[in-house]
Amino acid sequence: MARATRAVVDKLREEWTVPGLVTVAFDTVAGAGDFVEFEFEFAGEAENVDDATAQLCAFIDGLEVKLGDRVNRGYPHMLLDRDH
């Protein structure tokens, strides 16, 4: 059975890594806009998910840059205007 294509994500990504802490990805997504994604790299360094989240938030706050609202859905869902 063939599967239908529901969405194609056309994006340009530039990644930077802060060794031992985080990868920062800058994405430009056709039809959706520009985004910054922060990924905690060393989950083993955190006691639990809340600790990893707190470390990541502290890193982001330390940048002292204005960011837009947090988006908690993937690019395909955004392009298809779906919440999940």
pLDDT for 8-31, tens place per residue?
A: 889 999 999 988 788 999 999 998
- Name the burial class of residue 19, with classes exposed (0-12), middle (13-18) and buried (19+) by CB atoms within 10 angstroms of its CB: exposed
> For residue 83, what pLDDT is reported?
64
State mean pLDDT over 46-55.
87
Distances (CA, A) of 24 to 4, 30, 33, 80, 84: 32, 19, 17, 25, 24
State mean pLDDT over 40-62.
84
Report the distance separating Cα 44 and Cα 75, nearest Å: 28
Task: Say whether pLDDT at 43 is over 70.
Answer: no
